Structure 1
Amino acid sequence: MANTNHGATHQAASTEPLKFLSKEEAKALEEELYEEYKFGQQQLIEISGHSCAMAIAKAFPRSSLSKKQPTILVICGQEQNGAIGLVCARHLRMFNYEPTIYYPKRSCKPIFLDFTVQCEKMDIPFLSYLPAEVQLINDAYNLIIDAVLGLSDEAGLKELYTNILTTMKHVKIPIISIDVPSGWDVEKGNSDGISPEVLVSLAAPKKCAMQFSGKFHFLAGRYLPDDLQKKYELNPPDYPGTDCIVQL
């Protein structure tokens, strides 16, 4: 009888709507992971980057890519989202894709420097500049990974990456955005930003994801403790098998 009741409770919980977090809620959840649950920043970046690589491999298997070489351009910002992009590139290299990184404003934080060295040691090339001619990007790469801004949607940061965002708006190849598409407001969504084909939400989808209309939306939050999921009423769907991502 106890097992039946437990199943019924789980069934009822899974029918609750998926929670879309505000910017404040997302930052508070992350803070609790650090302070209360003793997750480290490097640990969370590693988990997130690996999950993003898994999502990309699921959405775009190497056999489905249009070009002979499985080339991917990873554009990284200087905040945490950029570090997640570096880790994602490293895992994609392990999955036999051919990532190239554009990382114009490098962070001086030791953790981020370590991730950069890891990519360099794996012979992942770094671009010194982003071609202004969009067609060159379309011709050279199958996909672009947008790891530029994420939750860091402050106007000052957006200005730093204006040229990159303009270029990404005009490319014809698919864009995969990590957590929050660059140029989007975390809560209000897309006023004049890019239009990614894939969105990988980290921990829980943000409110802007309600406006996402691309082909694939993945959630990467299987590492969240149950107590924290209940506190924030996240109501995530069941993850298939042992997967660290689930398609929404």
Structure 2
Amino acid sequence: MSMRYLSASVAAAVDKELMSTQAFSLDQLMELAGLSVAEAVLKVQPLEKGSKVLVLAGPGNNGGDGLVAARHLSLWGYSLSYYYPRKSRHEHLIRLETQLKNLGIPEISTAAEVAAALSGPSKVNHVIDALFGFSFKPPMRPPFDEILRLLQESQDSVPITAVDIPSSWDVDQGPLEGNTYAPEVLVSLTGPKPAAKFFKGRHFVGGRFISKDFAAKWDFDIPPYIGGEQVVEVTEKEKL
């Protein structure tokens, strides 16, 4: 699989065309993205390794991807909780949270509760970082700055899967000077962003809804999906 990267401007243009000439709705794209994230977590954190998963959801579409992933993982037998402090007023995101509540998935409402979930004998087994995607612009504001600090402190003891790009990273330059946040897993959606060049962990590409002609138009590749799988893991050679 080739590793051609999508800049922030190209990724935004791709999303725009997917919802125009390609006739996808935002709901559909979010559902497919969240399913990809859930499948990657299933691969790296199978139930027998521990079923407690915490989803950290930001206020935008990246957060919505995390909420979708939470629903799928809950239905697959995982024990989910989620932190969603800046709730969107958009109807599609309101519906996603309602679905979680209907499944009985508990919400964590404070940074202190997040800290408790990341440490101690009853800590979670895995975290999904769905706080901010490729459109993030610094600085990281409260309460997310505190959440990022907690992630940095716990990343050596609790594996983290980042959705599309690790939160706080620059989409083109990766972690800027002084940023020590390094999740264990990255799920690039549609195609990898330039920041993925700096990622050292397990890297998956997901979003199985692109035609070959569409990918060629925007100069990126469709990974070699197998069977009904929604993600493909990138090898060390392909990261170069």
Q: Tell me which of 213, 225, 230 is aligned to 1:239.
A: 225
Task: Between 72-81 and 164-173, report the one with greater CA deviation.
Answer: 164-173
Check the 8 A contact 1:79/1:149 in 2, yes or no: yes
1:165-195 deviations in Å (ceiling 9; x for gaps): 1111111201100001001001110121521
Q: Between Structure 1 and Structure 2, how many residues are aligned?
A: 227
Partner SS state of residue 186, structure 2: strand
1:123-172 deviations in Å (ceiling 9; x for gaps): 0000121227846523320011100001231125x224211111111112
Tell me, which stretches of 5 or more residues in structure 1 are unaligned? 1-13
Give the structure with the larger helix fraction.
Answer: 1
Tell me whether 1:58 sits opposite 2:43 in the alignment: yes
Check the 8 A contact 1:134/1:170 in 2, yes or no: no
CA distance in 2, matches of 1:141, 1:64: 11
Q: Give the deviation of 1:64 after TM superposition.
A: 2.1
Tell me whether 1:129 sits opposite 2:110 in the alignment: yes
CA distance in 1, matches of 2:64, 2:114: 26
Cα distance change on mapping 1:132 and 1:103 into 2, 3 Å:
closer
Cα distance change on mapping 1:154 and 1:88 into 2, 3 Å:
same
Q: Tell me which of 141, 160, 168 is aligned to 1:159.
A: 141
1:198-224 deviations in Å (ceiling 9; x for gaps): 00000000000010001x211103211
CA distance in 2, matches of 1:193, 1:213: 12
Aligned partner letter, 1:233:
D
For the pair shown, the structure with the greater C-alpha radius of gyration is: 1
Q: Which residue of 1 aligns with 2:194?
A: 207
Check the 8 A contact 2:125/2:159 in 1, yes or no: yes
CA distance in 2, matches of 1:136, 1:242: 33
CA distance in 1, matches of 2:204, 2:114: 31
Check the 8 A contact 1:75/1:144 in 2, yes or no: yes
Q: Which residue of 1 aligns with 2:34?
A: 49
CA distance in 1, matches of 2:99, 2:49: 28
Cα distance change on mapping 1:133 and 1:123 into 2, 3 Å:
closer
1:69-90 deviations in Å (ceiling 9; x for gaps): x111100000000111111000
Check the 8 A contact 2:205/2:223 in 1, yes or no: no
Q: Tell me which of 68, 88, 94 is aligned to 1:107.
A: 88
Tell me whether 1:186 sits opposite 2:168 in the alignment: no
Q: Which residue of 2 aligns with 1:228?
A: 214
Check the 8 A contact 2:114/2:147 in 1, yes or no: no
TM-score by length of 1: 0.87
Q: Which residue of 1 aligns with 2:184?
A: 197
Aligned partner letter, 2:141:
E
CA distance in 2, matches of 1:244, 1:134: 32
Aligned partner letter, 2:127:
I
CA distance in 2, matches of 1:105, 1:155: 17
Check the 8 A contact 1:77/1:105 in 2, yes or no: yes
Aligned partner letter, 1:196:
P
Q: Which residue of 2 aligns with 1:170?
A: 153
Q: Which residue of 1 aligns with 2:99?
A: 118
CA distance in 1, matches of 2:141, 2:109: 20
Percent identity over paired residues: 33
Q: Which residue of 1 aligns with 2:61?
A: 80
Q: Tell me which of 141, 144, 149 is aligned to 2:132.
A: 149
CA distance in 1, matches of 2:117, 2:44: 24
Aligned partner letter, 1:218:
F
CA distance in 2, matches of 1:84, 1:183: 17
The residue correspondences of 1:8-27 to structure 2 (distance < 5 A) are 17-27=2-12
